[in-house]
Amino acid sequence: MRPVAAVTLGLLLFMDAVRVLFPSLITIYGQAGDTPPEQLGLFAALWFVLPLSALLIPARWALIGGAGVLAIGRLLLQATDGGFPQLYVSAVSVTAGIFFLYGAAKLVAGSHIRPALPLGLALSQALHLSIGHMDLVWRDGLLPWIPTVLVAVAFAWAVLGVTETTEPASGRLWFALGPAILLAGMYLGPSALIGEGGTPGDRLWPTLALLAALIVLALAGTAGHPAQLAPILMVVGVWIAHDEGHLQVATLPVFALGLGWCLRVAGDGPAGRRAGGALLGGMIVFFVGTFVYYAAYDMVLGFDNAYVPLALGLVVAATAVRLPDLPNILPAVAAALAVAALWAFPQPRGTEGPGQAVDRDEFTLIAYNIRMGFGTSGTLDLDDIADWAASRKPDVVLLSEVDRGWFLNGGHDDLDRIATRLGMHYRFAPAADELWGDAVLTNLPVRGAQSMPLVTEGYPTGAQAQTVVVEVGGRQVGIVNTHLQEPELQSAALRSVTPRPPALLAGDLNLTPDDPAFQRLLTDIGLTDPLKNFGDPPTSPADGPVKRIDHILLTEGLTAVSAEVPKVPFSDHLPVVMRIRVG
């Protein structure tokens, strides 16, 4: 049916635009922290406040106009190559998407909206996972254009078939859509599939099967089936995520079914006379929830940001509260158990293999702050990072600012993407939370790996010191990988975690060689700074480096054979590449 297709595809294109706008706000407009948070917040809020003007125009204009701009914007995003065009095209596309959804809330029948919204969210996340959680908009070449054009054309065809209805969907459903988008982006992505020693790809097909079950639920559900089970599943799911920091594979079905069911039940209410206003209100909640949750990593809010998704989950659950209808709950329970059974089968686990010993006394190490994979132009350059690193034939790669599924950055697992392309095993060390931190990638034998949190005083973004011991030519070499957020305070703690020689300390220390804390670091631990003998190259900012804050420091027993700081545009930092001799 064309109205169902119009809303489903419109939500799909809207999610595409959101996953470009949010990281563009940080990397392009925000300049990765250089723009004051208040200014960044006001600029971002503008694009969610502008759609309130839809209340002043006919719903048909909002539907057709918003759909046209959204479709054109998606095509332009495929053609842009970062920079301010990417920022403004994605921002206008998000605004246009809200205009379109407002028109749909006013004009499309509830019988079409009830399956379309869960279907759109499920389809968006399923496609995102099935193509390696790296959206087509970030991919070059002709191939990504084919599905992009086909979806845009199908969307335009479907929108032209929408006719006005006298029974729009419940306003509760349209209001719930806003918080549901944030919850789906946070939890129905790669972050929920990260297990110790595993990769998102290990659980890809069960996850796609789960999303397919949600689609069937959206199309086949009736008013009586969910009863009180839907809000119960929703509350349980978000509470688990709140308690653990993110969902686990085993608990993903609980949350996913709860979310999809709540949307389905919310749509079974009476026809909404204020559905358009409810949609606009829900989108404001979506923006505020996103901004508050992720702002906690840059400013002190005075409360745990994990309560934000918990509160939004309770809001979505509240829209689905109904009187008990116990006989109709049984099919819902059976469906939930059937989907959960997918996780009972053994799944392949990998990425943390024993490594392969090398019969030589030298190894190549790369230390790189990748800024979540976003380059100087604001484009997602994970594949470029991996291909460049592979060209240096590294034995060890140390990464900082690794994102494993933040919706704010588009919901990508940077580590899995880079490690898979390099063909290397990894050890991840959480810092700010369970999804953001540092990592060691290597195929050398690893004899030990641990991470120690570093104390902060009033700085929200967490830091850690990751320690591993690798074997090179029969000798054990200690490696400390870190990203200091409060270097004056945290540098002193590194003395207690640095292994006995031969060892090295590397990463983004946010200290220049002239800083007193840097000199104390060298003296207290007994480190040398070999880059001084190789031209003392600056590493930051990448597009015009003036200072060296990224380092590879060596103890006795290690000697730098060569070192360089290549000028590559894949982050706001430059990488440090060093060939090191043991003994």
From CA 261, how far away is CA 431, in angstroms rounded? Answer: 34
Token duo for residue 194: 């990260």
Q: What angle do CA 322, 326, 330 make, to 5 degrees?
A: 115
Averaged pLDDT, 300-316: 87
- Of 47, 313, 318, 49, nearest to 180 by C-alpha is 313
CA distance between the termini of the chain: 71
Q: Is the Cβ–Cβ distance between 102 and 53 less than 8 Å?
A: no
Average pLDDT of 502-511? 96
In the predicted structure, residue 351 carries a pLDDT above the cut 50: no
**Dist CA 134 CA 129 (whole Å):** 8
Cα angle vertex 274, ends 263, 66, to 5°? 80
Which DSSP helix (H) or strand (E) runs through 95?
helix 83-107
pLDDT tens for residues 147-160? 999 999 999 999 99
Q: What is the pLDDT of residue 114?
A: 86
pTM of the model: 0.88
Instruction: State residue 568 phi and psi, 5-degree precision.
Output: -120, 150
Predicted confidence at residue 447, as pLDDT, reads 85
For 531, half-sphere exposure in the C-beta direction (CA atoms, 13 angstrom radius) is 22
**Residue with the larger pLDDT of the pair 353 and 558:** 558
pLDDT at 379 over 80: yes
Query: What secondary structure, in 3-state letters, does 513-582 show?
Result: CCCHHHHHHHHHHCCECHHHHHCCCCCECCCCCCECCEEEEECCCEEEEEEECCCCCCCCCCCEEEEEEE
The amino acid at 78 = Q
Residues above pLDDT 90, as percent of the chain? 58
Span of 26-40, 197-211, 342-356, 503-517 with lowest mean pLDDT: 342-356
pLDDT of residue 36: 82
Task: List, in order of start, the domains of the chain with CATH numbers.
Answer: 2-344 (1.20.1250), 362-582 (3.60.10.10)
For 239-255, write each residue's pLDDT tens digit: 877 666 666 666 677 77
Q: Which residues of 126-163 are buried (b: 16+ CB within 10 A; e: fewer)?
A: bbbbeebbbbbbbbeeeebeeebeebbebbbebbeebe
What percent of the chain shows pLDDT beyond 70?
84
Q: Which of 299-303, 450-454, 514-518 has the lowest mean pLDDT?
A: 299-303
CA count, 13 A, side-chain hemisphere, 166: 0
The yes-or-no verdict on residue 333 having pLDDT over 50 is: no
What single DSSP character describes residue 2? Answer: H
Per residue in 419-447, pLDDT tens?
Answer: 989 999 999 999 988 889 999 999 999 98
pLDDT higher than threshold 70 for residue 347: no
Closest CA to 372 of 321, 326, 407: 407
CB 369 within 8 A of CB 571: yes
Report pLDDT digits (tens) over 74-108. Answer: 999 999 999 999 999 999 999 999 999 999 999 99
